[in-house]
Chain A
């Protein structure tokens, strides 16, 4: 008797569960690698917003390797025919996933929410495959910043440089005063980050596009490129000997402690200064890398959305896409992460000065056509081509190779990677 009752209760419970999931809520399973403090908090906000609308969130955070581990998981899942609802994938890699025919069409949401108006077209182009939205942008990081410790400049009686000629004069003085002029981390991605800041600054946004976005052989092996390579190598003279292998945040802490005068790094370096209790403007100064004022190299995180068979899962997916570009999430997420919103029309009150400056520059650069995707951060070219450029840049920086040889090698190595 008791057993019968139990069985009945169970049956009702199971039925209830089945119905409850299929009728009023869809689930999104999200693969991402935002696991550190501020980032995890930001993801939790998106989760909360989705749950408020009645959808459930299945977290699939894969930490480590700057997303490399997450990508391995994603590939395995996709090959098994069981991809998640959304995954953190950015840049031209979006096109590679779309080409495999796995991504959902987000045009209905995009049209309703007017994404084309809110987001610059340089950015939406990356999110679209054959004219259809397959991904949602989340946030914008600016790459071509230079972080300076003004007290080191004062001690060395040097001026914070805005051109590469000024940079060399200042660096000589700083070195003579016993400081390290440039805090540098000798890892391939950091070398590429500095390199692209030099290229866009010295040779301009139009040349940058031809060389590092469209990878035209004529631009890659050109006098401008050779000049940029020489400038890039010149920086090495003003770094310390222990730079190889150093992590970026260790380099930032050298600037914070006043051992080094400047670092070329994206806006995530701000988090290190903030965590050390430093104030912008007095303790540290962030300005565009020499000669790159007015240009904007961006790194934009985004989520690709996989095709869903289940209707409720599709609804949940669309809701997630809408919420990501919604005002609430854009504001809270970016304040937490230290990046800036990817869409216009966000209240500016809660952002700090550096973020506000970055927002103005983002809008201005988008209007002037100097808003460029970052090569070093996988926004401009396919991972294979990016890897090829990395190889040449790092070999050139770490060996006796001449700038002329490196420029010629760009052409052959990139051709082999395509």
Chain B
């Protein structure tokens, strides 16, 4: 009798701990995500429909902030910059990352050291990267001065202070920082490929570039997916890099939506407009991510 009860109790406890404990452990994170992420997204959406200025007001006023946003020249400059920066940054990072990974994968010596060297920029914060590149690219103290001192007087590099080119300096610094990380991702992917496939292809007489193009790179598809996701969010979130490197200038020629949002919502007391701009950014992220996630996850289900 007693034996049975204690057995019962044991199963009860183990049942409880199996079923309830995980829920209990996850609950705080779950609740805080609901409150601090999703409810604040809704709050921002609400604010974007009001005439909030310095402090939030909750009376709905319709689309007025969105109309103001879309007639604001600075917003379009910022959006165009994000498009230019985002696409170049992602494409160049993936290409250099992939090439570095392929070269490192050729069973070379001191691979470990090289890998660390390429990966190391990732350990820096974007503020440091931005500040260092600001000095390197500064026409009076950086590369340009070095070349002049070496006697190349015709050397000319003023992108950092040129309104049309400033955004490309952000691409340079961003690529420098992130391509090592992409390399690490691809390297892990390459290591996961079965050698026997490559050997079989070699026996069939396929050349090395052909093996890479037709077999290895296509099989890295999941890595491309992760790299794209990570780079995409780095690009859209990029704020510190721009603040440290160009400060959004000259003028506001290298502004991006994140710096736009910050300056309108917090510096200029136009909370409503700032909220509207962050909702548009949010919408843009969803518009890119959802179809991609959908197609990726569906094709994986089919496999």
Given contacts A186-B249, A398-B163, contact A241 B158 (CB under 8 A): yes
**Could you give, for residues 264-296 of chain B, a 1 whenever the CB lies within 8 Å of some chain A CB and a 0 otherwise?**
101111100000000000000000000000000
User: Once bound together, how far apart are the Cα atoms of A416 and B69, in whole Å?
Assistant: 9
User: Once bound together, how far apart are the Cα atoms of A391 and B249, in whole Å?
Assistant: 11
Which residues of the partner chain B approach A243 to less than 8 Å between Cβ atoms?
161
Question: Which chain B residue has the least Cβ–Cβ distance from A102?
Answer: B55
Question: Which chain A residue has the least Cβ–Cβ distance from B74?
Answer: A391
**Could you give, for residues 285-314 of chain A, a 1 whenever the CB lies within 8 Å of some chain B CB and a 0 otherwise?**
000000000000000000000000000000
User: Once bound together, how far apart are the Cα atoms of A416 and B64, in whole Å?
Assistant: 10
Which residues of the partner chain B approach A68 to less than 8 Å between Cβ atoms?
266-267
Number of interface residues of A (CB under 8 A): 33
Question: Which chain A residue has the least Cβ–Cβ distance from B68?
Answer: A416
Contact A398–B249 (Cβ < 8 Å): yes
Contact B249–A384 (Cβ < 8 Å): no
Contact B139–A241 (Cβ < 8 Å): yes
Given contacts A386-B268, A387-B264, A395-B73, contact A97 B54 (CB under 8 A): yes
Q: B251 within 8 Å of A by Cβ?
A: yes
Q: A115 within 8 Å of B by Cβ?
A: no
Contact B55–A384 (Cβ < 8 Å): no
**Could you give, for residues 150-193 of chain B, a 1 whenever the CB lies within 8 Å of some chain A CB and a 0 otherwise?**
00000000101101000000000000000000000000000000
Question: Which chain B residue has the least Cβ–Cβ distance from A75?
Answer: B55
**Could you give, for residues 60-87 of chain B, a 1 whenever the CB lies within 8 Å of some chain A CB and a 0 otherwise?**
0000000010011110000000000000
Given contacts A78-B55, A188-B251, contact A242 B267 (CB under 8 A): no
Which residues of the partner chain A approach B161 to less than 8 Å between Cβ atoms?
186, 241-245
Question: Which chain A residue has the least Cβ–Cβ distance from B253?
Answer: A398
| Contact residues of B between 68 and 115, Cβ < 8 Å to A | 68, 71-74
Q: A79 within 8 Å of B by Cβ?
A: yes
Contact A387–B55 (Cβ < 8 Å): no
Question: Which chain A residue has the least Cβ–Cβ distance from B138?
Answer: A242
In angstroms, how far is the closest chain A Cβ from the Cβ of B50? 14
Which residues of the partner chain A approach B270 to less than 8 Å between Cβ atoms?
383-384, 387, 417
Contact B266–A384 (Cβ < 8 Å): no
Contact A387–B267 (Cβ < 8 Å): yes
Contact A383–B267 (Cβ < 8 Å): yes
Contact B266–A387 (Cβ < 8 Å): no
User: Once bound together, how far apart are the Cα atoms of A31 and B262, in whole Å?
Assistant: 22
User: Once bound together, how far apart are the Cα atoms of A78 and B39, in whole Å?
Assistant: 21
In angstroms, how far is the closest chain B Cβ from the Cβ of A200? 23
User: Once bound together, how far apart are the Cα atoms of A242 and B140, in whole Å?
Assistant: 7
In angstroms, how far is the closest chain B Cβ from the Cβ of A11? 38
The residue that A75 contacts in the complex, of B54, B139, B140, with Cβ under 8 A, is: B54
Q: A399 within 8 Å of B by Cβ?
A: yes
Q: B252 within 8 Å of A by Cβ?
A: yes
User: Once bound together, how far apart are the Cα atoms of A187 and B158, in whole Å?
Assistant: 17
User: Once bound together, how far apart are the Cα atoms of A284 and B174, in whole Å?
Assistant: 43
| Contact residues of A between 362 and 418, Cβ < 8 Å to B | 382-384, 386-387, 391, 394-395, 397-399, 413, 416-417
Q: B263 within 8 Å of A by Cβ?
A: yes
Given contacts A243-B161, A394-B252, contact A96 B74 (CB under 8 A): no
User: Once bound together, how far apart are the Cα atoms of A244 and B71, in whole Å?
Assistant: 27
User: Once bound together, how far apart are the Cα atoms of A114 and B74, in whole Å?
Assistant: 46
User: Once bound together, how far apart are the Cα atoms of A399 and B162, in whole Å?
Assistant: 10
User: Once bound together, how far apart are the Cα atoms of A78 and B56, in whole Å?
Assistant: 11
Which residues of the partner chain B approach A93 to less than 8 Å between Cβ atoms?
54, 269
Q: A72 within 8 Å of B by Cβ?
A: yes
User: Once bound together, how far apart are the Cα atoms of A326 and B241, in whole Å?
Assistant: 46
**Could you give, for residues 53-93 of chain A, a 1 whenever the CB lies within 8 Å of some chain B CB and a 0 otherwise?**
00000000000000010011001001100000000000001
**Could you give, for residues 229-249 of chain A, a 1 whenever the CB lies within 8 Å of some chain B CB and a 0 otherwise?**
000000000001111110000
User: Once bound together, how far apart are the Cα atoms of A413 and B71, in whole Å?
Assistant: 9
A-B CB contact pairs (8 Å), 18 listed: A68-B267, A79-B55, A96-B54, A186-B161, A186-B249, A186-B250, A242-B138, A243-B161, A244-B160, A244-B161, A244-B249, A383-B267, A383-B268, A391-B73, A394-B251, A398-B251, A399-B253, A416-B72
Which 6 residue pairs spanning A and B have beta carbons closest together? A398-B251, A244-B250, A387-B268, A394-B251, A244-B161, A398-B250
Give 17 new A-B contacts, CB below 8 A, not counting A382-B269, A394-B251, A395-B73. Answer: A75-B54, A187-B249, A241-B161, A242-B140, A244-B161, A244-B250, A245-B134, A245-B160, A245-B161, A245-B250, A384-B53, A387-B264, A391-B74, A394-B249, A398-B249, A399-B253, A416-B68
Q: Please give the residue numbers on chain A whose beta carbons come within 8 Å of chain B beta carbons, in ascending order.
A: 68, 71-72, 75, 78-79, 93, 96-97, 100, 186-188, 240-245, 382-384, 386-387, 391, 394-395, 397-399, 413, 416-417
